[in-house]
Structure 1
Amino acid sequence: MRNTVAGRVLAVGIALAGIGALSACGSEDDATRDEGTQEVTEAGNADAFSLQVGDCFDETEDEEFSEVPAVPCAESHDNEIYEQFDLEDGDWPGVEAVQTAADDRCGAAFEPFVGFPYEDSEIDFFSMTPTEGSWDEADDRTVQCVAFDLGGPVEGTLEGAAR
């Protein structure tokens, strides 16, 4: 997967090697989820491919990664996934086509999530998208839209932040 910030490409991707599961049964450093709500209840490492809408996580310094530091949204965090969708199966459409689809869908979902127009907001977004390698080798078609506050880490969800 590759991250992009509202049209600005960041050199960050998700490596395919070493992908683990986000569960209560993993290593002691793994994040845990509530069995009923599926919310992250204890901070720890999370498989980047297991993240879902509503999950919060912190930045990673690595350019390529398979895990991110997931945290309960009630705790201080950098990012929150607010939309997720799959691209159509088929041959790799290319970086530009993937990014256009991500920008369009993430942009359209932004205001309904934040409650404020993107152009006037203190909240920004980026997308995590498949790379050609993850598309071909792992059948990765998932795009995740990630909101973050330009002012820094937040506690709680950005849903309805209206700023």
Structure 2
Amino acid sequence: MTQPHPRYRLVIAAAALALLTLSGCSALGPGESGPERNDVGEIVTAGKADIFALQVGDCLNNVENGQTTNADAVPCSTEHDLEVFSLHTITADDFDPAIEGYPGDDRVATLSRDVCTAGFTEFIGVPPEGAEHSYFVFSPTMESWMRMNDRIIACTAHNNSGKTTGTLAGIGR
């Protein structure tokens, strides 16, 4: 797998363990509840968010590096680590049509970087290079691709200085 620019850390999402397939494709465990949303889909009460059910505008805390299946979703009006700014569904158009099955870690990483870099520039208002913010990516692994039909790249913005309150949309730095 090629390494992304050192400023960017690739958070690989969605390790689809066999036990998860028994829970109706939800990554939340027994007794865990998802976040409460208002009529327009904004999180109003914190809760565990299934990585497979993120929405643009969701704010997250306590996301582990590596393979993860859920995170603490919080209202963006409270301190948070990440904000989802783009979701991209991988289709056959993203790769050579001759590729069948999982396209490979390198191809997924390259597509993720391309999608999130473009989305970051649009969302934040400046390109990632030299910005005060960076992005993290949740992307399919071979296991989640095969077991969970995971095709979602989720791009999240992060303040390099630590937690933030409110949205990073249009912050321009």
| TM-score, normalised by the number of residues in structure 2 | 0.79
Q: 1:73 is matched with which residue? A: 76
Establish whether residue 131 from structure 1 lines up as the match of residue 141 from structure 2: yes
Aligned partners of 2:157, 2:61: CA distance in 1, in Å? Answer: 12
Aligned partners of 1:118, 1:54: CA distance in 2, in Å? Answer: 19
For structure 2, the residue ranges without an aligned partner over 5 or more in a row are 93-99
Q: 2:26 is matched with which residue? A: 20
Cα pair distance change 1:63/1:104, threshold 3 Å: closer
Matched residue SS, 1:119: coil
Aligned partners of 2:144, 2:10: CA distance in 1, in Å? Answer: 17
For structure 1, the residue ranges without an aligned partner over 5 or more in a row are none
Matched residue SS, 2:134: strand
Q: 1:141 is matched with which residue? A: 151
Q: 2:60 is matched with which residue? A: 57
Q: 1:155 is matched with which residue? A: 165
Q: 1:99 is matched with which residue? A: 109
Q: 2:87 is matched with which residue? A: 84
Residue 14 of structure 1 deviates from its aligned partner by: 2.7
Aligned residues of 2:13 and 2:51 also touching (Cα < 8 A): no
Aligned partners of 2:7, 2:111: CA distance in 1, in Å? Answer: 12
* Structure with greater proportional strand content: 1
Q: Matched residues, percent identical?
A: 35
Aligned residues of 2:10 and 2:138 also touching (Cα < 8 A): no
Aligned partners of 1:94, 1:117: CA distance in 2, in Å? Answer: 27
Aligned partners of 1:86, 1:57: CA distance in 2, in Å? Answer: 20
Aligned residues of 1:6 and 1:103 also touching (Cα < 8 A): no
Matched residue SS, 1:110: helix
Q: Which amino acid aligns with 1:45?
A: K
Aligned residues of 1:6 and 1:126 also touching (Cα < 8 A): no
Give the alignment's Cα RMSD to 1 decimal: 2.4
